[in-house]
Amino acid sequence: MEGYIDIHSHILPGLDDGADSLERTIRMLEIAYGEGIRTMIATPHYRESRKLIPIGYLEETLGKVEDEIAHLLPDMKIYMGSEVFYSHNMLSLLRERKVPTLGGSRYVLVEFMYGIDFTSMKNGLQEFLYGGYQPILAHGERYPELMKDLEQVMELKEMGIAIQVNSMNIIRSFGKHRHASSKKLFQHDLVDFLATDCHSDSIRAPVLKNTLAYLKKRYGDRYIEQLLVHNPKRILQNK
């Protein structure tokens, strides 16, 4: 099997609440490597109410990490991206290239306030669609208002929104509610991407194995490949 592609990670050092040093980044990458991941999209938080990370600084930071792993993990590849916290201006900031898309494609990883109502979420996602971007809803299992009725998730999918689920939430690491929601999304075949959303080398490390064992038993190998190889490749190929 080809290496997995993790499309949601806070792997780059010193940019957000993810890795806090280059050493931590390296340890996280080693863990990811051990889990079968060979490609990561670095998705630091971009939130309009906070200072946006300048793209040049993001590139520079990525370059430092690439230099560091060139000998250590030569077949690990990292792409630039972001996790966009929805606000109305974000579309303009994407267009002005002040906020990076996933791997330079038209795919955008979007998160919302957890308590957001469904209509506001739908309208927000629609803005990106109408603007010519392909939105991926980050950790769809986390939004109680969305998850209280699966018809709503189906409505988003029909609009053309892709759904990403965090691997840790499937094996109950972060609470019963998120676990139940992830399970429901999988049972109804509503998941497009599985990702680690890693923030550290401990509690929120880039781990997949337990989740994959769970999914493999229920849905088989091909499904795992779809979520972690084929669909992510479509992002990198901008399909």
- Residue 6 or residue 35: which is nearer to Fe ion going by CB? 6
Only segment of 27-35, 76-84, 93-101, 204-212 that touches Fe ion (CB under 5 A): 76-84
Specify which residues 218 forms β-bridges with. Answer: none
Q: How many CA atoms lie within 13 A of 237 on its CB side?
A: 7
Size of the site for Fe ion (CB under 5 A): 2
Secondary structure class of 220 (helix, strand, coil): coil
- Residue 84 or residue 212: which is nearer to Fe ion going by CB? 84
Q: Which residue is nearest to Fe ion (CB)?
A: 197
- Residue 50 or residue 216: which is nearer to Fe ion going by CB? 50
The distance of closest approach from Cβ of residue 151 to Fe ion in the complex, given in angstroms and rounded to an integer, is 26
Q: Other C-beta atoms within 10 Å of 178: how many? A: 21
Only segment of 69-77, 90-98, 190-198, 219-227 that touches Fe ion (CB under 5 A): 190-198
Question: In 35-171, which ranges are continuous DSSP H helix?
Answer: 55-72, 90-95, 118-130, 144-147, 150-159
Distance from first CA to last CA of the chain, Å, rounded?
22
83 interacts with Fe ion by CB under 5 A: yes
6 interacts with Fe ion by CB under 5 A: no
197 interacts with Fe ion by CB under 5 A: yes
Q: Which residues contact 191 (CB under 8 A, 6 or more apart)?
A: 140, 163, 164, 165, 185, 227
Which two tokens mark 155? 């409505």
Only segment of 19-27, 145-153, 189-197, 216-224 that touches Fe ion (CB under 5 A): 189-197
Which stretches of the chain bind Fe ion, using CB under 5 A? 83, 197
